[in-house]
Every structure is written in C-alpha cells, then in structure tokens.
Amino acid sequence: MTRLFLIASLAMFATTAAYAAGDCANAQDQTTMDACASEAFKKSDKQLNELYKQISTRLKDDADKSKLLVTAQRAWVTFRDAECAFSASGVAESSAYPMIHSMCLDGLTQTRTKDLQTYLACEEGDLSCPVPSAR
C-alpha cells in the first residue's frame, strides 16, 4: 500500500513539474494533458471574468442593462456547460474526458471573451452598443 502511494505521488509530482515547466506542448501522458487543458481554461475564464467586471462597472448607472447583462451571462454559462457536457460525452468513460471537456470550455470561453471585448471597444455614436464608453 505504501509503495502504491509513493508511485502515485511521484506520478502526480512529475505531472505537476511538467505543467510548471510550461511543457504543455510536449505533454506525453494523459494526466499532464488534462492538467494543461484545465489550466488553459482557468486562464481564459479569468480573462472573461475581468472583462465582465469592466462591463459591469460601465453599466453601474443603468440597472436595466446591468440586469440584462447578468441574465445573458448566466444563460451563456448554462449553454457553455451543457454544450461541453454534450461535446465531451463521446469520451465520457475515457481518461481523455477531462481534457476534451476543458478544451471545449476553453474554446467557448475564448469566444465569449471576444464577444465581450467588442462591447468595450464600441465606436463613439454606435447606437447598437449596449455598453457606454469609458469616461
């Protein structure tokens, strides 16, 4: 039992070391690929949340638009989670599931980030833009 724990601990350390070394492009095992995909998603999610906060700040004086933003974002998160669960369902019983699922989450999150970025970069006088320019 102790030997098994030691082997598992060493494998986890090796995976963590490979990720920490930034060697995701050369990942050789599924555990490392899973960890790298998860970290990529976390990075994208952090960027998305930062943009969301910026938009929320710009909308602080407009309760109606703020509420619409919250509703839209919650609906998007629900869609993202359902879409990625479906998208990764083909490998649900596989060790690749965490990687495939995280890659889907990452891709959709990056797309949403680009969508939110457009709201922060509207040209002056763009009547179709729901977010006021920074003052």
Tokens of 95: 């060790």
Q: Which fold has domain 31-135?
A: Substrate Binding Domain Of Dnak; Chain:A; Domain 2 (1.20.1270)
CB atoms within 10 A of CB 17: 11
What does the pLDDT look like over 24-80, one tens digit per residue?
Answer: 999 999 999 999 999 999 999 999 999 999 999 999 999 999 999 999 999 999 999
Summarised one tens digit per residue, pLDDT across range 1-23 is 555 444 555 455 444 444 554 68
Q: At what angle do helices 97-120 and 63-87 cross, to 10 degrees?
A: 150
Q: Quote the Cα angle for 110-94-11, to 5°.
A: 85
* pTM as predicted: 0.81
pLDDT digits (tens, 9 = 90+) for 81-124: 999 999 999 999 999 999 999 999 999 999 999 999 999 999 88
pLDDT 10s digits, 41-56: 999 999 999 999 999 9
CA–CA separation, 110 and 79 (whole Å): 14
Q: Which two tokens stand for residue 110?
A: 């990056």
- Per-domain residue ranges for the chain? 31-135
